[in-house]
Amino acid sequence: MKKFLIKTTLVASVSAMALTGCSSTTNSGVIGSDRQQLLLVSNDQVMQMSAQSYNQLLQEARNKKVLDTNAAQLARLNGIARKLINQAEVYRGDAKNWQWEVHTIKSNELNAFVLPGGKIMFYSGIIDRLNLTDAEIAAIMGHEMAHAIREHARERISSQYATQTGIGIAASVFGLSQGQAQLASMAGDLGIARPNSRTQEAEADKIGLVLMAKAGYDPNAAVSLWKKMQSASQGEPPQFLSTHPSSSNRIASLQALIPQVMPYYKK
């Protein structure tokens, strides 16, 4: 009975917050952006957390002398980024005013990400070891930009916050011990480096395809990219796949989406 009451309280708490915290971070009517999101924490709060993590990473890379060591590679990434950023306003007009940055880290890791606010990081290994074309780089960058544009990290943090708030209410009402409450509220690292949900990944795939197609990159490169990633995962799984699981289903979904975005590319 106590378990049922706790569960009911959690559901009621989260539902009440969802009623006041559901909105969308992007324009409606664009492919991949019509879902309402639970946004209980402010964008400014997420930006602050993100900036702190990003600046720490940059400083560590500078200290190790592995930041932006290949000028030609950095210029290549900046060129691709500019084309993609120019298309971001189709989803949200304020994106063009973000303080976009592109950096590289010299490392054999197969990894890349875009943090909230437009902080783009590529590890040299993902470009060199997979021998990525510009279009395949655009597929990665567009997908990662989509996570930032849709504020998926903010959404995951909000979801965790809702769960913890509900747990706090349950602990107060039903006398859960501190240990029980801590165990129940354990949820990783606030969503910044945790695996994205299937829903978020599907959105990022769709939005990323639109961005790259409108920027003039063949969306079929997204399929060839994930095939390369799938092959790379046969040995030691790449760091990139810790938050972006690869699968045959994903490749099939991308192939099914391509006809929808191909007109953007052809135009």
The two most distant CA atoms of the chain are separated, in Å, by: 64
3-state secondary structure of 81: helix
Residues found in the chain? 267
Catalytic residue flag (residue 101): no
Separation between Cα atoms, residue 81 and residue 37, nearest integer Å: 26
Q: Which of 144, 151, 201, 203 is catalytic?
A: 144
3-state secondary structure of 137: helix
Q: Cβ-count burial of 86 within 10 angstroms (0-12 exposed, 13-18 middle, 19+ buried)?
A: middle
Phi, psi for residue 88 in degrees, rounded to 5: -65, -25
DSSP 90: G
Nearest Cα to 136, choosing from 209, 73, 200? 209
Nearest Cα to 147, choosing from 121, 188, 114? 114
Cβ atoms of residues 238 and 190 within 8 Å:
no
Residues serving a catalytic function are 144
